[in-house]
Amino acid sequence: MTPSQIQEFYKNQTVFITGSTGLLGKLVLRKLLTTCEPKKIYLLIRQHKEKSPEERLEMLLESADLRRDQSEFKGKIFVIKGDCGLPGLGISQFDRETLINDTTCIIHIAATIKFNEHLRLAAYVNVRAVQDLLNLAKQVRDLKAMVHVSTAYSNCNQKDLIKEQFYEPGMTATKLLKILGCLDDETVTNITPEVLGSWPNSYTFTKAVAENVVKTEAQNMPICIVRPAILMGAFQEPEPGWLDAIQGITAFLMGTYLGLIHCHLADVKPIYLIPSDYTANIILAAACYATEKTSPPPIYNYTGFEKNLLTKSKLYEYGKLSTKLYPSVHAVNACLLIFTKNKYYLKFLQFWLHLVPAYIVDLICLSLGKNRRFVKMYQKVHRMCDALGYFNVNFWKYETTNCETLWKALEEKDRELFPFNMENLEWWDFFGKCVIYARINFLKDPMHTLPQAKRKQKFIAFFYYCIAFVLVCVLWRLF
């Protein structure tokens, strides 16, 4: 069978990927291995706690559904031990020489995506690592293309329309890293609000600075930038006890397990959720068109296509419906979604509908000799809501001309193999599949427990509203 244009581009190429253990990196890796025929794939993997890079590779193959094909892919995947938080990416001289001599394509996905990460770590991983990778790329003997994955919110301090162009960061990378090199962690923490300026957190700020690094230090390089919005997909692996709201299907997880009160307006404004596998596809497609050394490099705002954007009211509808159709036996609260832009009303609701019941249940657990966990659980959810508040009450429009042009340039076969046009995406069908996947894989709750879960859902709702009624009566008597 004749390969498509994108398949032909990656055939017999050696691809170096950073961030392969994350959601997006796994999808890019799997797509390359199952759809294309690369010669080699080098993966930058760091030591994580007790797990070696090699052990993490085994876990990666398992979670990316590649283990069944491991024998076929084993000779193509190679680990490069390193860490984006270290100078020079923490790569040994031997591995550096290997990459310089062998690599033909680089896909940089690695980043710390915690909104409120300490500025020093965020700058080292999101900014300095980009500098170090560009320095490495400039020495690569036969570099055909490089993709830097940024975020649609790197320039969220801009009002109204965010174009597919470079914007001035609040500070250059040189100045930022110089400041960090002179100060201790406590001082850096104290000056962080001043450094961030109009950016809401260290993540968006450092991603903006990193884009400027590409603009100023990637002259005459075959490189492009992809700015994806909020990823929604199937391979997210949240840390124990923490439900990640940026990648994955948080509305379902919190709605079925904890109950949810969130701070955004239920209206027809779009919320920029995008399928993570579609994002992997546009990254791979963009590399094919980054071979020309243009200045400045092209930027792709991948936030969806105007004709089929998901609105907040639709997300509310899908979230509410999914909790009814696919409740979990692990649920600990009734699902109640209240939308508000008033932060004081939000705090009031969080206190009475989250914390008060949580304290009551924790008190019961204490009396029964069981672990108290519900207050801490809700406190984590509240911190997450606080971090997301800026994005929930603000609204941006995005220019997507380059994305649309890229789609039109693809031949029919590539459109089938690497789809990223969302105009015909059936949102509920997609959302429902993600919910079922999450229920089975994240909550470890097989589908045969649905009847039991629905009975439990009714009991929890009855119990919850009984508590609410008692609290109202007590308040009525007091006041």
* Strand pairing category for 40-45 and 299-302: unpaired
- Residue 169 in any domain: the answer is yes
Written as six digits, the tokens of 104 are: 């033909």
- Residue 476 in any domain: the answer is no
Residue 471 has pLDDT above 70, yes or no: yes
Backbone angles phi, psi at 223, to 5 degrees: -140, 155
Backbone angles phi, psi at 152, to 5 degrees: -65, -15
Q: How many helices (H) and strands (E) does the chain have?
A: 20, 11
Give, in order, the Cα–Cα distances in Å from 28 to each of 23, 74, 238.
Answer: 9, 17, 19
The amino acid occupying position 140 is V
- Give the DSSP per-residue string, 288-357: HT--S--SSPPEEEES--GGGPPBHHHHHHHHHHHHHHS--TT--S-----B-S-HHHHHHHHIIIIIHH
How many domains are contained in the chain? 1
Q: Check residue 129 and give its pLDDT.
A: 97
R_g of the chain, CA atoms, integer Å: 23
What is the pLDDT confidence band of residue 260, given thresholds at 50, 70 and 90?
very low
What is the pLDDT confidence band of residue 209, given thresholds at 50, 70 and 90?
very high
Domain encompassing residue 175: 5-221
- Average pLDDT for 214-223: 93
- Residue 430 in any domain: the answer is no
Query: 246-256: per-residue pLDDT in tens?
Result: 233 444 444 44
Q: Facing residues of 145 across strands?
A: 105
- Residue 327 in any domain: the answer is no
CA distance 324 to 245: 21
- Residue 386 in any domain: the answer is no
- Residue 33 in any domain: the answer is yes
Query: 278-328: per-residue pLDDT in tens?
Result: 999 999 999 998 888 888 899 999 998 777 888 777 877 787 787 788 888
This prediction has a pTM of: 0.86
185-196 vs 173-182: helix crossing angle, rounded to 10: 150
Residue 450 has pLDDT above 60, yes or no: yes
- Residue 359 in any domain: the answer is no
Residue 31 is part of a domain; what is its CATH number?
A: 3.40.50.720
- Residue 401 in any domain: the answer is no
Instruction: Find tokens 């001309």 and name the residue.
Output: 401
